[in-house]
């Protein structure tokens, strides 16, 4: 994707074109990434990701950079094409969630079908996203864009001040063979390693819970810097970012009940090791 940043067709790779144009104007004004970031303001790493085409821009970034870099509105002009591409690649509402995830102080996630995206290995994520059943309209380019963003999002967990991640994974997700034995072995090992980080609490909801599982579908709850919470879920390719405090509080209570019913972290790690030995040794 980044290799096509000089294409003249913005509908083919608008994220790469936007990043290339941003870099062009920044260098034309003899400005470094940190200098531009300080004026926006945003993290220098975000400017780097936008320029490389691994993180989509938003309207406010384009507008601010147009003013700072005196582009004559060139970046804002490209935004409709960027949005058009995002609508093809990601579920509606997903990029709004990504923006909130990047600034969250705590993340709570329950997954019933797959390992949470933030904890997936590149091979596991690639197998999922490259599946013919994932999206019949996907092309190699859209799969590449989805994978690049998913792996880029994981960097929040290794940041200097990472958010605290509370993750509950249904046992069935750990037993579902994604990508073959080697991929699953690596993925289970990755979960065991991730659980060693002080900012990650990882639990497994065992199959034995049956109908007692408090939640029956995947759910994500974010705590933002001001203490407010938002929820996110996906249905039929559409993402829903829920901001109603009462609805989010209700989901948060269900998540807490699920944490209580799930295995402790130590017992969860033992189960993951057992599954690895049983199915993928």
The verdict on 121 and 227 lying in the same domain is yes
Higher pLDDT, 220 or 148: 220
Higher pLDDT, 107 or 237: 107
Mean pLDDT (whole number) for 217-241: 88
The verdict on 114 and 245 lying in the same domain is yes
Q: Which pLDDT score is estimated for 269?
A: 98
- Contact status, residue 126 vs residue 147, Cβ threshold 8 Å: yes
The verdict on 79 and 174 lying in the same domain is no
Which alpha helices (H) appear in 90-121, and where do they start and end? Answer: 94-103
The verdict on 255 and 168 lying in the same domain is yes
Boundary (domain end) residue, out of 73, 89, 105: 89
Residue 2 has pLDDT above 60, yes or no: no
Structural domains of the chain, count: 2
Query: Looking at 95-226, which runs of residues are DSSP E strands?
Result: 106-111, 164-170, 200-205, 219-223
Could you report the per-residue pLDDT of 85-114, keeping only the tens digit for each? 777 778 778 888 988 998 999 999 999 999
Could you report the per-residue pLDDT of 9-60, keeping only the tens digit for each? 445 567 788 999 999 999 999 999 999 999 999 888 889 888 887 788 887 8
Cα–Cα distance between 269 and 169 in angstroms, integer?
A: 12
Higher pLDDT, 278 or 52: 278
Structure tokens at 261: 């019913």
Cα–Cα distance between 158 and 70 in angstroms, integer?
A: 35
State the residue range of the domain holding 221. Answer: 94-280
Q: In 236-272, which positions are buried (b, 16+ CB within 10 angstroms) versus exposed (e)?
A: eeebebbeeeeebeebbebbeebbeebbeeeebbebb
Note the Cα 7 to chain centre separation in Å. 27
Adjacency order of strands within the sheet including 229-235: 200-205, 164-170, 106-111, 219-223, 229-235, 238-242
Boundary (domain end) residue, out of 68, 89, 110: 89
The verdict on 243 and 126 lying in the same domain is yes
CATH number at residue 160: 3.30.870
The verdict on 44 and 183 lying in the same domain is no
CA neighbor of 21 nearest in space, from 58, 50, 55:
50
Residue 221 has pLDDT above 70, yes or no: yes
Boundary (domain end) residue, out of 53, 69, 89: 89
Cα–Cα distance between 141 and 63 in angstroms, integer?
A: 27
The verdict on 109 and 246 lying in the same domain is yes
Cα–Cα distance between 178 and 126 in angstroms, integer?
A: 10
Cα–Cα distance between 98 and 237 in angstroms, integer?
A: 15
The verdict on 69 and 149 lying in the same domain is no
CATH number at residue 77: 1.10.260.40
């Amino acid at each position: 994707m980044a290799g096509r940043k000089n294409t003249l067709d913005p509908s083919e790779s608008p994220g790469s074109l936007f990043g290339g144009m941003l870099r062009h104007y920044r260098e034309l004004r003899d400005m470094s990434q940190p200098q531009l970031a300080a004026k926006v303001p945003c993290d220098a790493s975000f400017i780097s990701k936008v320029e490389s085409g691994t993180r989509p821009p938003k309207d406010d970034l384009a507008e601010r950079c147009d003013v700072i870099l005196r582009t004559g509105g060139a970046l804002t002009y490209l935004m409709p094409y960027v949005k058009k591409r995002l609508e093809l690649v990601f579920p509606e509402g997903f990029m709004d969630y990504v923006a909130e995830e990047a600034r969250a102080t705590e993340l709570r996630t329950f997954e019933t079908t797959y390992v949470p995206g933030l904890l997936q290995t590149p091979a596991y994520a690639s197998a999922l996203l490259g599946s013919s059943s994932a999206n019949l309209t996907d092309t190699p380019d859209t799969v590449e864009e989805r994978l690049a963003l998913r792996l880029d999002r994981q960097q929040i967990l290794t940041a200097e001040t990472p958010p605290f991640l509370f993750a509950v994974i249904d046992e069935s997700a750990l037993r579902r063979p994604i990508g073959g034995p080697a991929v699953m072995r690596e993925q289970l090992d990755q979960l065991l390693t991730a659980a060693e980080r002080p900012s990650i609490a990882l639990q497994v909801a065992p199959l034995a819970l049956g109908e007692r599982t408090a939640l029956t579908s995947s759910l994500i709850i974010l705590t933002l810097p001001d203490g407010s919470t938002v929820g996110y879920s996906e249905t039929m390719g559409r993402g829903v970012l829920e901001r109603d405090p009462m609805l989010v509080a209700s989901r948060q209570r269900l998540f807490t009940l699920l944490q209580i019913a799930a295995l402790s972290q130590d017992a969860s790690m033992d189960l993951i090791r057992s599954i690895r030995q049983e199915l993928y040794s």
